[in-house]
Amino acid sequence: MDTQNIKQRFGIIGNSPLLNRAIDIASQVAPTDMSVLITGESGSGKEVFSQIIHQMSARKHGAFIAVNCGAIPEGTIDSELFGHEKGSFTGAHEARKGYFEVANGGTIFLDEVAELPLGTQARLLRILESGEYLRVGSSKVQKTDVRIIAATNVDVYNRVKNGKFREDLYYRLNTVPLRIPALQERKEDIYLLFRKFAADFSDKYRSPALHLEPEAVQILTNYSWPGNVRQLKNIAEQICVLEKDRNVTGQAILNYIPNEAGSNLPMAINSQSKEDFTERDILYKVLFDMKKDMVELKKLVAEIIQHGGNTATVLADNPQYINQLYRDVELPSGQEHGFTIQQPTQSNNNNGSNNNNNGDYFAHEAEEVEESLSLIDKESDLIKKALKKHKGKRKFAAQELGISERTLYRKIKELNL
C-alpha cells in the first residue's frame, strides 16, 4: 500500500517530507514482528502510527491494547500488565489476567514507556527476550506472543544515562526507531489540518464554514504549537463554536492562541523581524541607555575635575555631553537642556583687554533638571518618542524599538499612552 492510500485509510493529513518518511518506515516495519520505539512530542500522533503498524501486520486480527504507562500508579502497574493471583495483595479478591495475557497473538502499545518503574522494566525485558512472565503473587511461568510498540515524548537515552531507564531494555525496544515530526516542523501542513478540522466541526455543530484571511493563516503557520496536532484541533473547535464572524482575521486568531511563554508566541508577521520580542527586551534597552548615561556622566565629571571645576568651560568645549546626558528630557521650545552657552565678547575699554583676566566669559544658567530613573517612565518615554518620530504609525514604531506590534499594543495599553 502506497503512502497516499495509508493517509486516506488512517485519516492522516499533510505532505511534509518528514511525515511521509515516518509513514514509509511504519509501513515497511509493519509486516515484521520487530519492536518499534516511536518518539515525538505530545500530541503529534504517535498512537496513530502504532495503529498503522498493527493494522498492516499479520496480527491485525488479534487484539490491540493501548496502555498509558504514565497514568497507572506504580503500585498497580505490574498487576495491570502481567495480572495477579487471588490474595496476592490487599484487594485482590480474585485472579485477574493482565494485558499481556489478554493481548496474546496481538499487539500492545506502551505509551509513555519511559515512566515505567525499574522493577517493571526488568519484567518487560524478560518478555521481549523470551516471551515469559510471572503473574503477581504466582511462581508459575506464563508464555505470551505479543508484539510490543512503545512510545515516548522524552529523550529515553538521557534517562538511561541518569539511571532511570534500563539500557538493555532501551536497545531491545529501539530495534526500529520511528520519529514523528512535531507540527512546527510541518509548517506546510498546518493550514491543511486547520481546514480539515474546521470543516468537520462546522458539520458537527451545523455552523457556517470558516474563512481565514491571509494574516490569520500566517499567524497559524508561525505559531510554535507546543501541543501539536491536538492543540490545533482544539483551537479549530473553539473558533468554530465561539467566533461569530466567519471571516476570521489575524487579530481574531490571536484571541485563541495562548500567550504562555515568549518561545510559544506567534512570530512577528513583518518579514524584517525574525523573532518575537517581549517586554524584557525593551527593559534591556532601557538599562543599556541608562548605562550609557552613567558613562557619559563619569566622563563629564572627570573633565570638570581636570579643568579645576570650571563647568562652563568644559560644556562649551564638549557640547555633546549636554546632548547625551539630557537627550531624554523634554524642555520648552528654544531652551537647550537648561544651559545657555555664550561666546566671549570683547569689551569696549581702551586697552582691548577682556573684562575677566582669565578670558572666561561663559555664563551657565543654573537650571536644575532632575531626570527620572524609573524603568516604567523610561519605557514610556521610549515608546512616546518612537510614536512621535513615526507620526503615530505603530508598525514602524515597533520596528524602531525592536519589538513586535503585538507587544507594542500591549505596552501602550498597560502604560495608558
> What is the domain count for the chain?
3
Instruction: State whether 226 and 327 are in the same domain.
Output: no
Last residue of a domain, one of 214, 232, 266: 266
Confidence category of residue 322, pLDDT binned at 50, 70, 90: low
* pLDDT tens track for 335-354: 444 444 444 444 444 444 44
Q: Look up the domain containing 403 and give its range.
A: 280-349+358-415
* pLDDT tens track for 61-72: 999 999 999 999
CATH of residue 52: 3.40.50.300
Query: What was the pLDDT predicted at 20?
Result: 95
Last residue of a domain, one of 111, 146, 181: 181
Instruction: State whether 9 and 80 are in the same domain.
Output: yes
pLDDT of residue 321 exceeding 60: no
Phi first, then psi: give them for residue 40, nearest 5 degrees: 165, 160
Tell me, yes or no, whether 275 lies in a domain. Answer: no
pTM to 2 decimal places: 0.61
CATH of residue 199: 1.10.8.60
Confidence category of residue 275, pLDDT binned at 50, 70, 90: very low
Tell me, yes or no, whether 274 lies in a domain. Answer: no
Instruction: State whether 164 and 214 are in the same domain.
Output: no
pLDDT of residue 189 exceeding 50: yes
Last residue of a domain, one of 148, 181, 214: 181
Confidence category of residue 298, pLDDT binned at 50, 70, 90: confident
Mean pLDDT of 32-53: 94
Query: What was the pLDDT predicted at 279?
Result: 56
Tell me, yes or no, whether 152 lies in a domain. Answer: yes
Tell me, yes or no, whether 411 lies in a domain. Answer: yes
Mean pLDDT of 171-177: 93
Instruction: State whether 194 and 176 are in the same domain.
Output: no
pLDDT of residue 176 exceeding 60: yes
Tell me, yes or no, whether 375 lies in a domain. Answer: yes
Tell me, yes or no, whether 130 lies in a domain. Answer: yes
Quote the CA–CA distance of 213 and 29 in Å, as a whole number.
42
Instruction: State whether 380 and 253 are in the same domain.
Output: no
Instruction: State whether 93 and 20 are in the same domain.
Output: yes
Instruction: State whether 243 and 325 are in the same domain.
Output: no
Instruction: State whether 40 and 99 are in the same domain.
Output: yes
Tell me, yes or no, whether 272 lies in a domain. Answer: no
Least confident of 117-121, 133-137, 171-175, 404-408: 404-408
Instruction: State whether 131 and 164 are in the same domain.
Output: yes
Confidence category of residue 315, pLDDT binned at 50, 70, 90: low
pLDDT of residue 261 exceeding 50: no
Instruction: State whether 177 and 193 are in the same domain.
Output: no
Query: What was the pLDDT predicted at 290?
Result: 73
Q: Are 326 and 300 in contact (CB under 8 A)?
A: no
Mean pLDDT computed over every residue of the chain: 81
Tell me, yes or no, whether 330 lies in a domain. Answer: yes
Instruction: State whether 116 and 151 are in the same domain.
Output: yes
Instruction: State whether 145 and 19 are in the same domain.
Output: yes
